[in-house]
Amino acid sequence: MSTTSDDGAETAESIRSRHREAADDVVPEHTQLYIGGEWQDAASGETFDTLNPTTGEVLASVARGGEADVDRAVEAARDAYDEEWSETSRAERQAILTEIADRVEEHQEELATLETLDNGKTLMEARIDVEGVAEQFRFFAGATNSRSGHTRDEPGVHGEVIREPYGVVGQIIPWNFPLAMASWKLAPALAAGNCSVLKPAEQTPLSVLRFLEIVDDVVPDGVVNVVTGYGEEAGDPLSRHEGVRKLAFTGSTAVGKQIMRNAAENVTDVTLELGGKSPIVVHADADPEEAVGVIAMAIFANTGECCEAGSRLFVHEDVAEPILEGLIGAAEGMTVGDPLKEETDVGPKVSQEQVERTMRYLESAKEGGATFLAGGDAPDDEALAGGCFVTPTLVEGLDHDHEAVQEEIFGPVLEVFRWDDYDEMMELANDVDYGLAGGVITNDLELADRTARDIEAGYIWVNTWHEMSPGLPYGGYKQSGIGRELSVETLDYYTQAKSVKYGLE
Ligand code: NAI
Ligand code: MG
């Protein structure tokens, strides 16, 4: 095959040509702003490049949206809301969301490949993401009928509570699950009857643009608008726009706080899904082999770029040896490499900036006296030298108040702590600013229940990780966020209550 060297081994060139070929098939035709159902250049005429983190090559140039574009998009959303969308029935919206789900399923492999090229996640992971996108639209198609207002009556009193959409919502999403995060935002917003202005992350705009090409004739003009661009240039004006009546953001805690400050200018309602530093608690009765499988998935899936990753392991002393031995084997046995290849377990991180961030934390961990049980560097493979690769890493021996333990690394880095006193362990497990998720590994139902209740976080896994079913609300305690996604109550966050009181004589 021309894509490998003479001895059949992978080379940087063989990876590049595989990726160029795939890109030719799936990079969208339109890489502009999507406003009022039309593809438009940015008002400034400027573009920016999105890169392929496996090869470092440019995948596409995309419109660089700014304040004037946000203004146009909000206006288009408002017009669509006033003229058409606010008049739609639940059944009409349900049919549209269902058709979107069908289209996504028809284009699954293409969307997954595009996600792999733009983000670096493995094709296997990208396929799961795209399945989840269809599931999300299907769930909220059904959920449109699950919420409505109610009446309040007693002798001499009659009133009704109407749940009204906000009209125009602004939605800002990150790069770790680009299309999935778009669906988490768009599906409930549309189901509840809102129009959206969505800003994808600058690292990964392409799958959302291709998605809009695919559903262009399904969604009425102006109901979904996409402004691509940088956070400061396109996200910031969106979060300050007085025509936006509700903001939803997923990303870093620092930017989440800024969004909340911006929202305060117009007293705009806001939901936030921010970072995490989630504890995995392993009890003494855990089966080591099963525990290793769950832990490896918790931290290494999606190259550790998951807000809900299990990144702090609290393992009971009695089972620490076999579990750590198993984890070292798992980490060292993982295939790090080209995410388009089926046998790859761990793809690149999304960007060089993210590699540097992870490496800064690993440097700091070394200075803090950490022992590296596995990984901690770039893979020793010439073919991967042009990409954003980091090896699966296990670290032990850090103080729990060290910055590498307290802060979100967002890479394939697990920090290990051994325990024998439950209360002391739980104090540490909860001793972070975050509270997004957590997990417990045990076969004892009472222990599972107790630990699930003791962890201060919004989502707890028992003997598994990352699995999220629509219907189970997802969101954070503490500085991990405000609000809940993925469930029928999400619709409450996209509507506001209006009371109508009748005067009865
Ligand atoms: P970020 O929070 O800057 O980016 C998320 C989104 O916010 C992007 O669409 C970005 O363009 C936008 N944004 C950035 N600055 C903005 C501003 N001033 N106003 C409005 N929108 C703005 O995250 P970044 O810098 O890409 O990653 C930094 C760290 O954040 C990661 O290493 C990770 O720890 C965390 N993160 C957490 C995520 C999560 O799912 N909770 C997702 C992505 C990052
Ligand atoms: Mg990219």
State the distance from the centre of ligand 1 to the C-alpha of 225, rounded, in angstroms.
20
More confident residue, 6 or 405: 405
Closest residue to atom 38 of ligand 1, CA basis: 251
Per residue in 205-255, pLDDT (tens digit) is: 999 999 999 999 999 999 999 999 999 999 999 999 999 999 999 999 999
Per residue in 27-62, pLDDT (tens digit) is: 999 999 999 999 999 999 999 999 999 999 999 999
Q: Which two tokens stand for residue 398?
A: 């850090």
pLDDT band at 276 (very low <50, low <70, confident <90, very high): very high
pLDDT at 4: 45
Non-local (6+) Cβ contacts of 340 within 8 A are 18, 19, 22, 54, 113, 116, 117, 123
pLDDT at 2: 36
State the distance from the centre of ligand 2 to the C-alpha of 175, rounded, in angstroms.
8
Task: Check pLDDT > 60 for residue 108.
Answer: yes
Angle at 453 between CA 451 and CA 456, to 5 degrees: 95
Non-local (6+) Cβ contacts of 291 within 8 A are 282, 315, 319, 323, 326, 441
State the distance from the centre of ligand 1 to the C-alpha of 377, rounded, in angstroms.
24
Mutate to test the pocket of ligand 1, among 228, 255, 407 (most ligand atoms within 8 A of CB): 255
Tally of residues, the chain: 505
Per residue in 313-362, pLDDT (tens digit) is: 999 999 999 999 999 999 999 999 999 999 999 999 999 999 999 999 99
Active-site residue identified among 10, 273, 408, 485: 273
- Mean pLDDT, the chain, integer: 97
Q: Determine whether the shortest distance from the Cβ of 274 to ligand 1 is under 6 A.
A: yes
For residue 230, which ligand has an atom nearest its CA? Answer: 1
DSSP letter (8 states) at residue 485: B
Q: Which two tokens stand for residue 28?
A: 């969208």
Long-range contacts of the stretch 375-381 (C-beta < 8 A, 24+): 375/331, 375/332, 375/412, 375/413, 379/336, 379/337, 381/336, 381/337
Q: Determine whether the shortest distance from the Cβ of 479 to ligand 1 is under 6 A.
A: no
Q: Determine whether the shortest distance from the Cβ of 236 to ligand 1 is under 6 A.
A: yes
pLDDT at 9: 86
Nearest atom (ligand 1) to Cα of 238: 20
Residue range 381-391: average pLDDT?
A: 97
For residue 121, which ligand has an atom nearest its CA? Answer: 2
Q: Which of 441, 436, 492, 431 is nearest to 464 (CA)?
A: 441
pLDDT at 306: 98
Q: Determine whether the shortest distance from the Cβ of 251 to ligand 1 is under 6 A.
A: yes
Helical H runs in 219-374? 236-240, 253-266, 288-300, 317-333, 352-367
Per residue in 350-374, pLDDT (tens digit) is: 999 999 999 999 999 999 999 999 9
Domains of the chain: 13-274+483-497 (3.40.605.10), 278-469 (3.40.309.10)
pLDDT band at 156 (very low <50, low <70, confident <90, very high): confident
CA separation for the pair 78, 490 (Å, rounded): 22
CB half-sphere exposure, 186, CA atoms < 13 A: 30
In the chain, the amino acid numbered 14 is S
CA separation for the pair 50, 202 (Å, rounded): 7
For residue 437, which ligand has an atom nearest its CA? Answer: 1
Closest residue to atom 27 of ligand 1, CA basis: 252
pLDDT band at 399 (very low <50, low <70, confident <90, very high): very high
Task: Check pLDDT > 50 for residue 1.
Answer: no
Task: Check pLDDT > 70 for residue 470.
Answer: yes
Per residue in 475-497, pLDDT (tens digit) is: 999 999 999 999 999 999 999 99
Closest residue to atom 19 of ligand 1, CA basis: 236
pLDDT at 309: 98
Q: What are phi and psi of 19, to 5 degrees?
A: -75, -35
Yes or no: say if 348 and 388 are a contact pair by the CB < 8 Å rule: yes
pLDDT at 8: 67
Task: Check pLDDT > 70 for residue 17.
Answer: yes
pLDDT at 7: 60
Yes or no: say if 132 and 180 are a contact pair by the CB < 8 Å rule: yes
Q: Which two tokens stand for residue 157?
A: 């009193």
Q: Which of 171, 104, 166 is nearest to 138 (CA)?
A: 104
> Is 427 one of the catalytic residues?
no
pLDDT band at 147 (very low <50, low <70, confident <90, very high): confident
State the distance from the centre of ligand 2 to the C-alpha of 120, rounded, in angstroms.
8
Q: Determine whether the shortest distance from the Cβ of 202 to ligand 1 is under 6 A.
A: yes
Nearest atom (ligand 1) to Cα of 172: 9
Q: What are phi and psi of 370, to 5 degrees?
A: -70, 145
CA separation for the pair 283, 440 (Å, rounded): 8
To the nearest whole percent, how much of the chain has pLDDT over 70? 98
pLDDT at 231: 98
Q: Which of 32, 30, 50 is nearest to 41 (CA)?
A: 32
Three-state SS for 29? coil
DSSP letter (8 states) at residue 131: H
Q: Determine whether the shortest distance from the Cβ of 411 to ligand 1 is under 6 A.
A: no
For residue 249, which ligand has an atom nearest its CA? Answer: 1
pLDDT at 3: 38
Q: Determine whether the shortest distance from the Cβ of 356 to ligand 1 is under 6 A.
A: no
Q: Determine whether the shortest distance from the Cβ of 266 to ligand 1 is under 6 A.
A: no
The DSSP line for 420-465 is: S-HHHHHHHHT-SSEESEEEEE-S-HHHHHHHHHHS-SSEEEES--
